[in-house]
A and B are shown apart, each in its own frame.
Chain A
Amino acid sequence: MILKYELPKNTEKLIALKDNEKIYYAVPIDIDENGRWTDDSFLVVTTGRVCVIRNNSLTEYDIPDFDRAYAEPGIGGGLLTLRKGDETCVLAHYSSKHLARYAYIARGINILISGRYEEVISTEYERTCPKCGRAIPGTKTCPHCTGTGGFLSVFMKLVRSYKRGFILAFILMILAAVTTLLNPEIQKRLINDVLKGNGDMKTALIFLGMMFFLSVAIVIVNVAKSNATARLGSTIAADLRAQLFDKYQKLPLSFINDRRPGELLNRITQDTRFISDFMADVFCNLFAVFFIFIWDVIFMMILNLKLALLTFILIPIVSAVIFTFRKTISRIFHLQYKKNDDVASDLQDVISGMRTVKSYGREKDESEKFKTVSGSFAIVQKKNERFWGMFDFLISFLMGMGLVIVVYFGGLDVLGDKMSAGELYQFITYTLLMFQYVGWLGRLPRELSRLTSSLERIYDVLAQTAEEETGEEKDIDIKGEITFDHATFGYKSYQPVLEDINAVIKPGEMIGIVGASGTGKSTLINLLMRLYETDDGRILVDGCDMKDISRKSYHSQLGVVLQETFLFSGTILDNIRFSKPDASEEEIIRAAKLANAHDFITALPDGYNTYVGEKGYTLSGGERQRIAIARAILPDPRILILDEATASLDTESEFMIQKALERLTRGKTTFAIAHRLSTLKNADRIMVIDGHRIAEIGTHRELLDKKGIYYNLFTAQMS
């Protein structure tokens, strides 16, 4: 993300840099003081000043005069403020376009305020190309400007790895074209030489035989061609899917979180399917159609130049009609699709909310609402079907009119002996062939652009650089000392979730983490699980930076039970074994017993082989949680993370599991998040997270004596 824009000359003059002063950041201000768009204002941060330039006039703020800078997000935009004591100064308003940018600027100003001179650098991508103004589809550089997104180059890259399949498809396409074009020629001969030219039965049969073989050949070649291209398409799609999936697994979680889950799913399912569809429907005809079209035109001109030119005049007319109608069609079908969507989502809403609907006695109103939605869908559908019927008729009519013209003028020529009857027949067949492909060719640009964007989206993911391990990471036997050293992290650059976390946790210590929802407890745990990396600062394990420990080694010594337990489709056995694939049955039973899961598993008809997951046996929340606990403790981890691990259990099970956990956590570094403070009574120390920071840390006793947040929470829960 650009934090230092090129400034206009006169703006630069206004700032008038002093000696030893340099520009750190320069960004546009796109909203003026009255809330209107503007494009001539800038905010510039130098070594000692923040300058706001509007209408060619400069307002300066001396950095040492202020305590802190804030980039405050609003709705559809945000504002940058500087604060000194109680006083706040609003420097600039900006639209959402610069939301992230100003967060970096605020961070940068704060560094300068603190007397350091580091420059903040953003690794985030721009969303609009600064050069051409086009939207960048989530890639690092603009595919249009760098030229890598050119349809041909991407497509050729794809083709190269499937050379054989493409060559076969190409040969079949040419064959298909040749056989299609040959047929009218033979028909002409039949008419001219046999029917009109006193031929005998024998020659007639020869021609008929040739026509028969040609027809069979056309069918065979076309089937083979469709087969070859479909196979090619599905192979390519399957390969791309596998590559994409592999990449998703390797990419950092932040990449996944930055994008909507649907979008990523679509790239795997829809974009690859589109490519295979394209190969099967469009590509397989692409060269054949061009080939046929060109020769078709040439043959027509050879046969009768005047007639050919006359027919060609019809082409623009027919294509114009098809084009306008197609636009309308895509519009009305889009509408129908949307209405259909409305019906489906309304249905889904009501059905999944049936309990609520019934309990408020709103069945009638919902029925009425649905009737309206369904009714308007029916109207649109009816209209569209009617239109559709007319469209086909109209196109046939137009083509028929074209034929009438050809037959009329061609007929005159035949009567005037300028053309033979067979040639006229041949000409008509070519005309029909041409009309058939005009529509197809008109659809091509759209299909190509869709293919390009699908390919682009896929290559965008494939081109991402995943953090591969460098090979220098160590495997270590974790003792369990964890050090947070100025750890700072936020999912979005402009919203830090954890700021400057500092703490040293001794090996084997149990740390209880408390705090209100949304303060960053789970985020802290995400960092410990290495799902994300800190933006600033470090987390050390046994004095070694977490980034220098190999993932495999670290994760094999980590046990995790999360608030929301996720069980994969599979058996209970598979699910427990997930954390240690080579665990013996005995180990699994022992883990299940420790997690207080053994008894309920035994009561299931299929025991440990009971199939769970989306389509399987429905377990209660508590049962799922116990399986998750068994999974976490199976590998006997050195570090245990419990995020509300016993929250959805009944009191008795919770008590039992707490007892079991007590034994388990002994000697293991444990982090436990809990809302119910009673579950933390065994914790060696309690960490209270508030306002993105560690607000309090200490033993239960110490924190009670402190009479702070923990004291208030504790007394409120105990009373």
Chain B
Amino acid sequence: MSENAVNIFEKKAEEMTAMNIISPSDTFTLTAGGTVMLDHEGTRYNRVKIVRLFPFSDADRYLSVRDHDDSDREIGIIEDLELMNKESRDVIRHQLDLCYFTPVINKIMNIKDEYGFAYFHVMTDKGECRFAINMGSNAVTKLSDTRLIIMDIDENRFEIRDVEALSQKEKRMLDLFL
């Protein structure tokens, strides 16, 4: 009878190391409730979660698809979002947009510092917004020389894709945090 249990672990180990690929023909659909459903190799997964494996360096490739109802077990990996059919792609894009909420800052209107906090007023791809960062902490992370992630006091993330693309005036305002 102990054989059985050992087999369970063997199987688990196998599952753990296997790399399943989600083929472009698998379909992702949005359910009425607003979640994502996947049909993959004849199985229907009621609710899947899509996780970016390289959120910064390769956001649209290597997406891990996980089964929400089976404690987030990996169903497979999407190698390239571009290769999926359009309907699935749109569903996934939409889902990623909602679950990875990282507004990209396009324009800095103003930065004001007061008592150890800096108040940003910016225009992002998600709309205009204001947020505050703690100047004492490492709120600004450099992904590269020109790419920044800013974490506000609520732990929201904001991204600046290319510092060099900002105007001189904006850069000067930002300088204190670089």
Chain A residues in contact with chain B, CB under 8 A?
Answer: 31, 34-38, 74-77, 79, 81, 86-90, 93, 95-97, 99, 127-128, 133-135, 137, 260, 263, 266, 331, 334-335, 338, 449, 452-453, 456-457, 711-712, 715-716, 718-719
Contacts and interface: CB of A to CB of B under 8 A. Distances in A.
A77 B101 contact: yes
Contacts of A95: 101, 154, 156
A54 to B, nearest CB: 13
A452 B115 CA distance: 7
Given A87-B31, A90-B34, A95-B156, 10 more contacts: A36-B126, A37-B103, A75-B55, A76-B155, A88-B33, A95-B154, A96-B154, A135-B117, A334-B176, A715-B2
B33 A87 contact: yes
A88 B127 CA distance: 29
Contacts of A716: 5-6, 9
B27 interface: no
Given A90-B35, A715-B5, A76 B115 contact: no
B115 A453 contact: yes
Contacts of B124: 37
B157 A76 contact: yes
Nearest to A87: B33
A35 B97 contact: yes
Interface in B107-163: 114-117, 119, 124, 126-130, 132, 134, 136-137, 153-157
Contacts of B103: 37
A76 B33 contact: no
A714 to B, nearest CB: 8
B134 to A, nearest CB: 7
- The secondary structure that dominates the A interface is mixed
Given A338-B178, A716-B6, A449 B35 contact: no
B33 A96 contact: no
> 4 tightest CB-CB pairs across the interface, nearest first?
A90-B34, A715-B5, A76-B101, A77-B101
B33 A266 contact: no
A127 B153 contact: yes
A128 B156 CA distance: 13
Given A90-B35, A712-B9, A715-B5, A135 B101 contact: no
B49 to A, nearest CB: 9
Contacts of B127: 36-38
A715 B6 contact: yes
A134 B136 CA distance: 16
B29 interface: no
Given A87-B33, A711-B5, A74 B156 contact: no
Given A75-B99, A134-B117, A335 B178 contact: yes
A655 to B, nearest CB: 24
Interface in B65-122: 69, 94, 97-103, 114-117, 119
Given A96-B154, A263-B136, A75 B126 contact: no
A324 to B, nearest CB: 12
Contacts of B41: none
A74 B101 contact: yes
A41 to B, nearest CB: 13
A456 B8 CA distance: 58
Contacts of A36: 126-127
A711 B8 CA distance: 12
Given A36-B126, A75-B102, A128-B153, A89 B33 contact: yes
A37 B6 contact: no
Interface string B50-76: 000001000000000000010000000
20 contacts: A31-B98, A31-B126, A35-B126, A37-B126, A89-B34, A93-B98, A93-B101, A95-B101, A96-B156, A128-B132, A137-B115, A137-B117, A331-B175, A335-B175, A338-B178, A452-B115, A453-B115, A712-B5, A712-B8, A716-B6
Contacts of B157: 75-76
B76 to A, nearest CB: 21
A133 B132 CA distance: 9
Contact of B154 (A87, A127, A134): A127
A711 B2 CA distance: 9
A687 B154 CA distance: 37
Contacts of B98: 31, 35, 74, 79, 93
B5 A456 contact: no
Contacts of B132: 128, 134-135
Contacts of A456: 115
A331 B156 contact: no
Nearest to B118: A135
Contacts of B2: 715, 718-719
Given A36-B126, A93-B101, A137 B116 contact: yes
A76 B6 contact: no
B42 to A, nearest CB: 19
A712 B129 CA distance: 52
Contacts of A453: 115-116
B46 interface: yes
Q: Please indicate which of the listed interface residues B2, B98, B102 has the most CB atoms of chain A within 10 Å of its own CB.
A: B98
B150 to A, nearest CB: 11
A148 to B, nearest CB: 13
A38 B155 CA distance: 18
A31 B101 contact: yes
A88 B136 contact: no
A88 B8 contact: no
Nearest to B93: A35
B35 A74 contact: no
B119 to A, nearest CB: 8
A165 to B, nearest CB: 27
Q: Please indicate which of the listed interface residues A36, A266, A335 has the most CB atoms of chain B within 10 Å of its own CB.
A: A36
Nearest to B51: A75
